[in-house]
Amino acid sequence: MCGIIAYNGQKDAIPYLIDGIRNLEYRGYDSFGCAVDTDDGIIVKKDIGRIDDVVEKYKINAMSAKRAIFHTRWATHGSVTKDNAHPMVDCAGKVAVVHNGIIENWEELKSELGTHKFVSDTDTEVLAHLVEERMKTGDSLDSAVRYTFGRIKGSSSFVVLNKGNDEMVAVKKGSPLVLGLAKSGTFVSSDVPSFIKHTNKVIYLNDGDMVRISKNKYEITNLIDKNIRHKINTVNLAVKDLGKGEHEHFMLKEIMEQQELLKNLESTDLSATQKAAALIKKARTVYLVGAGTSFHVARLGARLMRDNGMNAVPVQGQDLPSYKKILSKKDVFVIISQSGETADIINSLSVMNGNKKIGIINVEGSKLAYESDILINVGAGPERAVASTKAFTLSAVHITLLALFAAGKKKEALRDLNLMNINMYNLLVPSVMEAIDRAAQRIKGLESIFFLGRDYDYILALEGALKLKEIAYIHAEAIDAATFKHGPLALVTNKTYAVVIVSEDTKKDIMNNLQEFKARKGKLVGIAESNAESFDLFIRMQSGGVFTFVMPTILLQLLAYKTSRQKNIDPDYPRSLAKSVTVL
């Protein structure tokens, strides 16, 4: 995934775009670059490294122009080098392109452009040369872009800047693009937060949309379906939500926001959940589809549905095609995605054709939100840290509400939601925070650690292990404590650590499992409502009825965060990762 923002208008574009691209850095931070249309032609500045470092190195903030395109990259095609950073330009330096996605037939296209000079290893560069080639024959910029769109295969959204041309042209195919309509001009970007300081008037683009953007107007043409209409949306997003506030990192801010977000859920309109529950009741089988963190939400929801008598199956997006021969039109799909852009799921949408789809998604206007028959907005707000925290927790709570509403247990669900929120005030007290600090200090030097749990707690162990891997770079393996004796027990020595989640429902069985671990001198970090002799370190959690899972989830997020900080790692931008994966 990469981040794109461009502006064409009456004001100086550079301050707008520097500020805007910072709000997209979660989408990629391997390299950064810009193309600026000046009186002297298109000037390109780019390099590897973080945005602010490149801006300072090339004095980009001293430049001025009414039209420019900016890009922050997460490398998918071609290694992290200056030459591979975007924008890409044509042979004459008159066409500049920024791109998010994958061009599957780039080698074939590059071969056709044999006389052109290529300087990068990326697929993106063929876009600039294809546009150049067509404009040599007399095509206008938009005609050349239209032709280029028709030639490329795969999920690719891009923006093209042409020397001396008052217009820039953007195309959406798969990867997200959105228009921001300000009084002073028009933005086109990968995500709304990049321009929200300047306008909350937004058009979410559809696949096949080509946008011509001039200083005073824009024009949208869909190259696939001419009947598509575009609505101007008013986005309710406060500028203050984009900053770190009083916190050192976005991840910590987002962890700490969960208490207020969960409390607000009690007064949220849940009519979409009620409608979705009615679909679930009629379904033959419910398939809950997710990837990464969202797949853990799918597992949680499927388990709860099965426990309430429903036939529910969690599926990773890339595995869904293997179910094609057993699907029925009576089946319902629940799509879970923080970004609404996940390529593994988008690629499997054809399998869901003809079936009702319920989306549990945090980004309105996204591809998966658009494809959903009923959208349950997660309501977590912008999540800037790469490792998901509040979006995971809110998604898990929404899937729980959906399962319980479908089981006819709405009253019990709302009661337990209130209980969880009451007990949340006792979760992050000083003694608990100190216990997390001690545990982080103990595990920061480990190369490997286990996460254990049974039943629902095992799903939380999977999520906790993922968080530690993502931001503390420690190999972490989650195992169902009931199966630990079937092989993994051979790895336990007096230097082996495990984080174990012990809820009251699983306490009796799991404590027996832990004796096998302790007999081999293993060390345990226990997350439970009460201490136990088996625990070498203890982190107290609270109960919350059916939502008790929220409590250890937040504690595990904090444990990963604090371990990361004790290792002097920036938890917001872990190496090699980006917020969501929009390529297969």
CATH number for the domain harbouring residue 421:
3.40.50.10490
**44's tokens:** 């390109």
DSSP character at residue 355: S
What is the secondary structure of 149-197 as a DSSP string?
HHH--SSEEEEEEETT-S-EEEE-SSS--EEEEETTEEEEESSGGGTTT
Question: 242, 258, 290: which is the final residue of a domain?
Answer: 242
Q: What percent of the chain has pLDDT over 70?
A: 98
523 and 456 inside one domain: yes
- State the Cα–Cα distance between residues 122 and 106, nearest whole angstrom: 9
pLDDT at 134: 95
**134's tokens:** 């067509």
Residue 346 scores a pLDDT above 90: no
Distance of CA 137 to the CA centre of its chain: 41
What order of strands is seen across the sheet that includes strand 523-528? 475-480, 448-453, 497-502, 523-528, 537-540
| pLDDT class of 580 with cuts at 50, 70, 90 | low
- State the Cα–Cα distance between residues 197 and 242, nearest whole angstrom: 10
43 and 177 inside one domain: yes
390 and 524 inside one domain: no
| pLDDT class of 457 with cuts at 50, 70, 90 | very high
User: Is 469 a catalytic site residue?
Assistant: no
493 and 458 inside one domain: yes
Selection from 319, 396, 401, 446 nearest residue 552 by Cα: 396
Give residue-wise pLDDT tens across range 264-273. Answer: 999 999 999 9
**210's tokens:** 């080509």
User: Is 329 a catalytic site residue?
Assistant: no
Give residue-wise pLDDT tens across range 76-117. Answer: 877 899 999 999 999 999 999 999 989 999 999 999 998 999
Q: Hey, which residues does 287 pair with through a beta bridge?
A: 313, 333
What order of strands is seen across the sheet that includes strand 233-234? 41-48, 31-38, 67-73, 3-9, 185-189, 178-182, 201-204, 233-234
What order of strands is seen across the sheet that includes strand 95-101? 88-89, 95-101, 156-162, 168-171, 209-213, 218-222
- State the Cα–Cα distance between residues 343 and 580, nearest whole angstrom: 9
Range in 144-148, 233-237, 422-426, 553-557 with the lowest mean pLDDT: 233-237
Distance of CA 564 to the CA centre of its chain: 20
User: Which backbone phi and psi does 284 adopt, to 5 degrees?
Assistant: -70, -50
390 and 421 inside one domain: yes
pLDDT at 370: 86
Q: How many folded domains does the chain comprise? A: 3
421 and 437 inside one domain: no
Question: 188, 219, 242: which is the final residue of a domain?
Answer: 242
- State the Cα–Cα distance between residues 23 and 470, nearest whole angstrom: 21
- State the Cα–Cα distance between residues 86 and 101, nearest whole angstrom: 12
178 and 230 inside one domain: yes
| pLDDT class of 439 with cuts at 50, 70, 90 | very high
Distance of CA 533 to the CA centre of its chain: 40
* Boundaries of domain holding 386: 246-425
pLDDT at 78: 79
pLDDT at 584: 47
455 and 390 inside one domain: no
Q: Average the pLDDT over 324-350 and give the result.
A: 91
| pLDDT class of 239 with cuts at 50, 70, 90 | low
415 and 450 inside one domain: no
Active site residue: 45, 94, 467, 579, which one?
A: 579
Give residue-wise pLDDT tens across range 401-429. Answer: 999 999 999 999 999 999 999 999 999 99
| pLDDT class of 435 with cuts at 50, 70, 90 | very high
**338's tokens:** 């923080």
DSSP character at residue 482: G
Q: Average the pLDDT over 315-336 and give the result.
A: 95
DSSP character at residue 235: P
CATH number at residue 227: 3.60.20.10
213 and 314 inside one domain: no
Question: 425, 440, 463: which is the final residue of a domain?
Answer: 425
How open is the CA angle 474-477-483, to the nearest 5 degrees?
A: 160
Give residue-wise pLDDT tens across range 148-203. Answer: 999 999 888 999 999 989 999 999 988 889 999 999 999 999 999 899 999 999 99
pLDDT at 444: 97
- Kindly report the average pLDDT of the chain as a whole number: 93
pLDDT at 367: 83
Give residue-wise pLDDT tens across range 499-519. Answer: 999 999 888 889 888 988 998
301 and 418 inside one domain: yes
| 464 neighbors 501 (Cβ within 8 angstroms) | yes
| pLDDT class of 581 with cuts at 50, 70, 90 | low
Peptide bond just before 87 cis, omega within 30 deg: yes
| 191 neighbors 20 (Cβ within 8 angstroms) | no
258 and 112 inside one domain: no
